[in-house]
Each structure stands twice: as structure tokens, then as C-alpha cells.
Amino acid sequence: MKLPQRISLVRCTLSLDRTLILGVLNVTPDSFSDGGEWIEVDRAVARGLEMRAQGADIIDVGGESTRPGADAVSEEEERRRVIPVIERLGGLVSIDTSKASVAEAALRAGAQIVNDVTSLRDPRMAQVIARAEAAVILMHMKGTPRTMQKKPMYHEVVSDICDFLRRRAKRALSAGIPRDRIVVDPGIGFGKRPEHNLEILRRLGEFRRLGFPICVGTSRKSFIGHVLGREVHERVFGTAATVAASVLKGAHLVRVHDVPEMVDVARMCDRLK
Ligand code: HH2
């Protein structure tokens, strides 16, 4: 299937002729690598602007941690965390949420992309995105953050994930989200053992068959710690290796915490493709 050349958003168009950088902004007390750092609105906005100045194309704002075992957050609390930040940040923002009501408020506040780690599990989500003419990132997760790392098993990891993403993309299309506003993501670390994550990255090219741009989020994740024996803040070089592999194997977007470093990695790999 032919891949769209761009992602069409309400107020701009993103060309896919170079890798796009999503800068992670977790407005949470408990995210696995930056929990508590950006929980105050002023600090969060300053961090978003800093990442943008460092070369992030999109700021991915999230108000609920999805780390393994994380507690769920109420809709009100999630909205309270993210909406003031989105309003003040302006520019190109994605909202990292699995709740339709939070997505709706975020899109009203100026976000143009919904990054849904549950791929439209909330029955209202597809309709909310379609109505706002927003784009969506459909990510694969096995189970929920509370259960996902309890012995995840696959028949065949890459084809199982591709089948899931194909079904969710179909759901998005039938809800009226056009093809050039859909991105897919294999969900590194979400219900996957270290070997599964490595296998997904080695075979990332196979996801191109789905016909949608591919987003990959490896940044600082535990499979890097598992391979290198490094703590979360010692994983920048490990992250760089996985970002390089992702870009060279066909990722169109990479979701990262260490923006200036990964901008360099992505720009270099773009030239090597
Ligand atoms: N990973 C995380 C959160 N959102 N979204 C997409 N599309 N892809 C990912 O791989 C992805 C994601 C987890 O990382 P982080 O936000 O840093 O941690 P936490 O969930 O603890 O807030």
C-alpha cells in the first residue's frame, strides 16, 4: 500500500520527507523517567518551549503515566494537569491520552494530534478525533499498564501487532478519520519482553506494509537498561542507538525525552537512508 507523503493537520501539514521528532512532556508525578519534573504549569510550559527550540516538531503532552503498574488517573485530574499547559504552549501539540473526554478538551485547547496508547479503546475516541479533524497515533499495547508486563506472550510478535494495528486503523477509517491523519506505533515496552522489543526494532520495516507512517518510542525504556545494565538517566546512548535503528528501518516519527541529542541522530540517519 502506498504511504501518505504527509500528515494533514487542521492548521498545518507535516511533510514526511524527514524524521519528525516528538518531544515528551509528562505533566505527571510518576512517569518512569521524568516523573514530578514538569508537574507545575510554568515549568512544563518552559520545558515544552525549550524542546521546541531544540528541534522538536511536536510536543507530546501527557497527564497520566503508562509505566508498568501505574495507577489510573481520573478524567478531571488528567484535564487539570494538561489543559493549562496546552493552552499556554500553543504551536504543534499532541495529547497523550486514552480518554475521549481529555482528548476532546485538549483538541479544544489547541492540540492537533491524539496519541492514544490504547488505540481507540474508549468507544467515543474515534468520533472525537474525526469531528475535530485531528490526527491520531494508534499504538499497540497488550493488556493495560497494570497488567501488561505479566508474562506477555505472542503467537508471532510482529504479525500479531500488525494485525492489531490494521484492525484499529480500519476502525479509525470507518469513523471518518482520513488515511493521511493516521500514524501507527508498535508500542515498545507495552506488554513486551526485552526480546520482543528488540525483534520489533530489527523487523520495523515490516510495519511499512500497513501503509501508514510509523512512530516509535524507545526513549530511555527498560529494554535498553536490560541490555546495557544502565539506570534510566544513563540510557541516552542506548536510546540513540535505537533511534538510529528505527530511522534507518523506516520510522517517520520518534518520541524522545533527549531532544537535541536525538535531533542530531535523526538528521544524520535521514541523510544515510
Ligand atoms: N511510550 C510512552 C508513553 N506514550 N506513546 C507512543 N505513541 N509511543 C510510545 O512508545 C509511548 C507513548 C511511555 O513513556 P513515557 O511517557 O516517558 O513514560 P510514562 O508512561 O511513565 O509517563
Q: 151-199: per-residue pLDDT in tens? A: 888 999 999 999 999 999 999 999 999 999 999 999 999 999 999 999 9
Q: Is residue 26 left, alpha or beta, with left meaning phi > 0 and alpha meaning psi from -120 to 50?
A: beta
Looking up residue 176, the CATH number of its domain turns out to be 3.20.20.20
Residue nearest to atom 18 of ligand 1 (CA): 31
Number of domains making up the chain:
1
Of 221, 249, 267, 273, which is the active-site residue?
221
* Residue 8, in any domain of the structure: no
On whether residue 232 sits in a domain, the answer given is yes
26 lines ligand 1 (CB under 6 A): yes
CB of 197 sitting under 6 A from ligand 1? no
> Could you state, in chain order, the average pLDDT of each consecutive group of 10 residues for the chain (273 residues)?
89 96 95 85 97 98 89 94 98 98 98 98 98 98 78 93 98 98 98 96 98 98 98 97 98 98 98 96
Instruction: Enter the pTM of the model.
Output: 0.97
Does ligand 1 have an atom closer than 6 angstroms to the CB of 117?
yes
- Of the CA atoms within 13 Å of residue 4, those in its CB half-sphere come to 16
The residue nearest atom 5 of ligand 1, judged by CA position, is 117
* Residue 181: inside a domain: yes
Does 12 map to a domain? Answer: no
Whether 130 is in a domain gets the answer yes
Answer yes or no: is 2 within a domain.
no
Residue at 5 is within a domain: no
Contacts by 263-269, CB closer than 8 A, 24 or more apart = 263/21, 263/54, 263/55, 263/56, 265/240, 266/18, 266/19, 266/21, 267/18, 267/19, 268/244, 269/19, 269/243, 269/244
Please give the residue range of the domain that contains residue 85. Answer: 18-272
State the distance from the centre of ligand 1 to the C-alpha of 267, rounded, in angstroms: 22
Percentage of residues in the chain with pLDDT exceeding 70? 100
Does any domain span residue 174?
Answer: yes
